[in-house]
Structure 1
Amino acid sequence: MTLTTKATGSRIISVLEQAWLAVRAQHPEVPDVVVITGAGSEGAWMTWGHFNASRWRRDGRATPEMFASGELLGLGGRRVMEVLLHEAAHALAAVRGIEDVTSSNRYHNRAFLRLASEMGLKGPRERDKTIGWSACVITDATADRYRDTIKMLDAEKLPYVDHPSVAAYRQWMAEKSTGEAPAAGDAPDDDQGGQGEGEEDAPEPLPRLPRTPKGIGGSGTGRNGTRIKVGCGCRSTWVTYAFWDCGGITCDACGEAFDEVGSTS
């Protein structure tokens, strides 16, 4: 008897490798990578993808790593390509010796924005004071250029890491179906953010849930806001109600459990 399975890690990696090869076919300067995947969520933060220029070694030489989160695989081919192109922009920065992130790799500066544009992404209308110009989205023209790869990713129906952020992000993307990136903060239109090193993307907050229409579900539950502010003994943060309702969060720094502080629409 021959046993077969479709839900294998090797299949996931193979499909992601094909998608990365499609990027390299359009942009030969983008390097070959070791593709890995796994859970990207940690507490109230999500790493959808990251690039590291020298984490692996092959034949005695440093080899880059490209990580795509298991949660990302539940969001469809277009979103997967968007993240891969984001990481490819970081890859170009590494190849060209350009510093594109600062502040412990969280703040994406204008150099990143230029590289992301070169990869076919569109930057946000304004920079965010914490993550800079990170919130770049794939354009329709770029998606059309990768239409065969996007179709392949969708047709594969890859297994994905089940997490409240997947459903939340699907709702968020549906609300932003115009293809425009949301305005990201109200900071002045300049580059700041301090100094940093490395190539990996730092985690970003989990996506905001769209507002629940009045009178639809959750009547009297206080769940009409999109996010909830929670705090521990040393800090506070915003998380989605979908994530908060899954269970408590304990702070790794102070060891205290987070408690509800407030909500926002």
Structure 2
Amino acid sequence: MTRRGVSALADEIVARESESGQDAFAGLSTLVARIADEVCVRNESQLAGLTCAFRSRVVVVLGGRALGPYGSYQPEKWQLDERALDEIHVNIGVFLFAQMDSSARAEEIFDTICHELAHLYTRVTGQRGTSGRGNRYHNRIFARIAVALGLRVERSPRSYIGHITTGLSTAGWERYADLVLELEQALRLLPADQQGHPTSLAPSVVVATAADAVPATGKYVSAQCGCRDERGRPRTLRMARGWWLDGTVGCSLCQQVFIESPPTRTSTTSTTPAH
């Protein structure tokens, strides 16, 4: 490396070390909002009006809760003078992020952004993206919009009805690879890897974020142990609820019992659900 290169690297290190946490958070907030806007622009041809809706009525808020959903959409959460504004909330503080590699973190957060934009689009187009008592599951309308946004959509593992988003589809990766990389490189402000958090309370990484459901009471129980794959995703199993008994199923790898995964969505609004 040349002397000039060494000097530039040293300047970069000094700049990073002098950057405050507040500056890092503000920069990441701005980036996430800009990425959400760019997602809208890139999908305007097939989701007409999404860009205008996002720019005119949405506030993007970053959160830092260690437990809970990855994000939510809440209509008319804010007011600017006399104008009502919706909130897209992206939780960057989920403690599992500290255990994932950088690409997995970026994809999960990007998935959250697109997922909440799908809720925004159902709202502004007068469609209903959720169904069931308490708006507890994502229906085919939501699934269709999520696919259009480049998300991979699967049937919910907790029931025979409803859909979840589980990351970007092949088409989504082709459409957003540059944005995901930009987000990955900017994710320097992360939750600390604190071993005190109980793994049994961790939200499942494969479910899409949200707050639109009531506690699961379906035919099957989804449970997880302490194992994580190379990308930080939990090992899960599904068992008929009639056979499930807390504390009786163990994992020989991590020596922990499987514990029922908590609901990843809690209702925050009686209108269009958050996620």
> Normalised by the shorter chain, which TM-score bucket?
0.5 to 0.7
What letter corresponds to residue 133 of structure 1 in structure 2?
A: H
Rate the CA distance shift 1:119–1:217 in 2: closer, same or farther, 3 A.
closer
Cα shift at 1:138: 1.4
Partner of 1:80: helix, strand, or coil? helix
Report the Cα distance in structure 1 between the residues aligned to 2:112 and 2:223, rounded to whole angstroms: 15
Rate the CA distance shift 1:106–1:125 in 2: closer, same or farther, 3 A.
closer
Rate the CA distance shift 1:24–1:204 in 2: closer, same or farther, 3 A.
farther
TM-score scaled by structure 1? 0.60
Bigger helix fraction: 2
2:26 maps to 1:10: yes
Rate the CA distance shift 1:228–1:168 in 2: closer, same or farther, 3 A.
closer
Counterparts of 1:81-160 in structure 2, within 5 Å, are 81-102=110-131, 103-125=133-155, 128-129=158-159, 132-160=162-190
Rate the CA distance shift 1:52–1:58 in 2: closer, same or farther, 3 A.
same
2:62 maps to 1:37: yes
Cα distance per residue 1:73-109 (max 9 Å; x no partner): 9352122111111111101101101111233343111
Rate the CA distance shift 1:119–1:203 in 2: closer, same or farther, 3 A.
farther
What letter corresponds to residue 95 of structure 1 in structure 2?
A: V
- Unpaired segments of 5 or more residues in structure 2? 1-14, 98-103, 217-221, 225-233, 237-249, 263-275
Report the Cα distance in structure 1 between the residues aligned to 2:111 and 2:180, rounded to whole angstroms: 10
Cα distance per residue 1:172-230 (max 9 Å; x no partner): 87xxxxxxx79xxxxxxxxxxxxxxxx9544889983327974x554xxxx1x4x325x
2:118–2:145 Cα contact (<8 Å) kept: yes
Counterparts of 1:12-31 in structure 2, within 5 Å, are 12-28=28-44, 29-30=49-50, 31=54
2:77 maps to 1:64: no
Which runs of 4 or more aligned residues in structure 1 lie more than 6 Å from their structure 2 counterparts after TM superposition?
A: 165-170, 203-207
How many residues end up aligned between the 2 structures?
Answer: 197
Partner of 2:189: helix, strand, or coil? coil
What letter corresponds to residue 155 of structure 1 in structure 2?
A: Q
CA RMSD, 1 decimal: 3.9
What letter corresponds to residue 129 of structure 1 in structure 2?
A: S
Partner residue in 2 for 1:252:
none
Report the Cα distance in structure 2 between the residues aligned to 1:120 and 1:12, rounded to whole angstroms: 23
